[in-house]
Structure 1
């Protein structure tokens, strides 16, 4: 197949997956890419077993779920989603720039969300805004309203793919540090506004940490010391404000209380069988967080243990992160590892990894590692503070 066609299909698949994951378009784009991947497995194999390991773990979890009480629809969705990791064969064989695809998808999502947020806040009742919001709600693409954190109230237009924005934001920031282009800076600002409008605490926190850590990694040690001297008091001031003036970090805040309930219920129901073998993908359990039986929570790795057990969860994490030593041994690849680690940290409190856009992030990460080339060569530079 022509390389330009393949790259166009991959870009379309990424856009469709991020923007309208419930729509059939990403499935239509996926099938030709998947069949091409199957062919390339034999014609152009790559030196990694990671896609096979991940898919076999998900297959094991799905088979186990058939023997107990589980949400089989969720199990099938997770298993089929994992098969998108086979697209790594297409990405490598045709040298698809996944970083570019993710940046384009992120900027497009941010532009749409910022535009819709502007219409809802500044032009209430405007017909286009109402039509888009009706489509947004009808297809359950996210949440709209106001989020309260004590004395802090935030407008909220949260797309289900909003957590994905952490990766394109970080990649664009790496671009800007190297090129200093105003257009790149504009895209960064657009994504940051969209992240704030999402009202997601984890996403906002990880975005700030990512920008700081990448900038810190970019500078030489003398400048790093100065950055820390400025960042530490600012960070302490922000922490003090959040603790004293808002409920963001309070255990009584609704979202925090729900997550605590999930964790308490997990330990109350954990047994040796579940810890070693799991209960299967989408297995049900009662959580005090919701006060009912659910098949999935916001805490990805706790669910992973429930689904496939501790040993396979550790193997799953190792397969996703391979090869960790190579990442941090190379200065050029270090930013890639930083971004992925922060994304994994965000998955500790948000279901952002084992879904359609989460698998896109894994594909991007694997493509950089397997090629051995960073999307952007980000090296410390002896420049000024800005």
Structure 2
């Protein structure tokens, strides 16, 4: 419902979102750089870290057990995929770098893998570039080829290390336990069809505690509202993909959904922002469709003045 007044009133939603995400990505990178310089401690008892935790905005810390050592994750960090796309569309490559660093420093494997995949796809798919942008694109392709040629073994080693870090292993063990809980719940047909109720708790074997939500968003949605309403909900959020606009926007949205699949980001305020973004893109594409042309050679009889 929020899409209609935003679209009708012509609010600069995308521009506002772009600059807000730019600021948040900048804060993420600055916090990490400040920690590196020794002027701030992401693990310390300080006003910024306390504010983040007291307002439940995200998590902040550093540890060898994390996949990328640093984890400065805000609940809106996955929206950096929008910043990544918009910056490439606007050919503001410094902001592209900022968005990638923001996703990397957020510390989650899904964010990083999706960011890297999108960058590679964008490099090869982006069209209509200016001459400087084409030079950047050619250099990026050349550097990518060199990395794949000479650094493939190092890349495999880093990916293996990322996937098998203590933090990643702990997260995977939680998900395995959560899946066991789902298997038990879904052994009853009515839980699959109608769910156990929005906001209801279940005993999560992965955490050995009762929880009202879990990280596996799509399955968690089925648990809460059942398969029937889940299909309707997913159909609603996927509907904008039928619009006639850049495939890169659609890939950005699909990338977010992959991130949301392993994080509680499918039905939240963060999710609502990207849903509004996609519906606005869809409506804009519909408004830009050309009117059908009349083939006058097939029109017989008198001509009428319109």
Report if the CA contact (8 A) 2:78-2:111 is conserved: yes
1:345 aligns with 2:258: yes
The corresponding residue for 1:266 is: 182
The corresponding residue for 2:31 is: 116
Q: How far is 1:260 from its partner? A: 1.8
> Which of the residues 298, 304, 309 maps onto 2:226?
309
Gaps of 5+ in 2: 129-136, 289-306
Q: 1:374 to 1:261 in 2, by over 3 A?
A: farther
The corresponding residue for 1:213 is: 121
Separation in 1 of the partners of 2:286 and 2:23?
Answer: 26
Q: How far is 1:106 from its partner? A: 0.8
> Which of the residues 188, 203, 206 maps onto 2:96?
188
Q: How far is 1:373 from its partner? A: 6.3
Separation in 2 of the partners of 1:155 and 1:304?
Answer: 30
Q: How far is 1:147 from its partner? A: 4.0
Q: How many residues align?
A: 273
Report if the CA contact (8 A) 1:149-1:253 is conserved: no
Q: 1:118 to 1:373 in 2, by over 3 A?
A: farther
Q: How far is 1:219 from its partner? A: 5.8
Q: 1:291 to 1:213 in 2, by over 3 A?
A: same
Separation in 2 of the partners of 1:167 and 1:125?
Answer: 29
Q: How far is 1:115 from its partner? A: 2.3
Report if the CA contact (8 A) 2:68-2:107 is conserved: no
Q: What is the 5 A alignment of 1:226-245?
A: 230=145, 233=148, 237=153, 240-242=156-158, 244-245=160-161
SS in 2 for 1:322: helix
The corresponding residue for 1:280 is: 197
> Which of the residues 140, 147, 167 maps onto 2:56?
140
Separation in 2 of the partners of 1:288 and 1:241?
Answer: 32
Q: How far is 1:96 from its partner? A: 2.7
Alignment RMSD: 3.3
SS in 1 for 2:266: coil
The corresponding residue for 1:295 is: 212
Q: How far is 1:232 from its partner? A: 10
TM-score (ref. length: structure 1): 0.63
1:155-206 CA-to-partner distances (Å, cap 9, x unmatched) read 2222222112122122212221xxxxxxx22222222222222111111111
Q: How far is 1:231 from its partner? A: 9.6
> Which of the residues 170, 175, 200 maps onto 1:254?
170
Deviation beyond 6 Å, 4+ runs, structure 1? 249-252
Report if the CA contact (8 A) 2:217-2:264 is conserved: yes
The corresponding residue for 1:104 is: 19
1:285-342 CA-to-partner distances (Å, cap 9, x unmatched) read 1112111111101111111101111121111111111154x33xx3x33222111111
Q: How far is 1:116 from its partner? A: 2.6
Q: How far is 1:118 from its partner? A: 2.6
Separation in 1 of the partners of 2:146 and 2:167?
Answer: 26
User: Of the two, which has the highest radius of gyration?
Assistant: 2
SS in 2 for 1:156: strand
Report if the CA contact (8 A) 2:162-2:168 is conserved: no
Q: 1:89 to 1:238 in 2, by over 3 A?
A: farther
Q: 1:106 to 1:246 in 2, by over 3 A?
A: closer
TM-score (ref. length: structure 2): 0.78
Q: How far is 1:264 from its partner? A: 2.1
1:70-92 CA-to-partner distances (Å, cap 9, x unmatched) read xxxxxxxxxxxxxxxx2111122
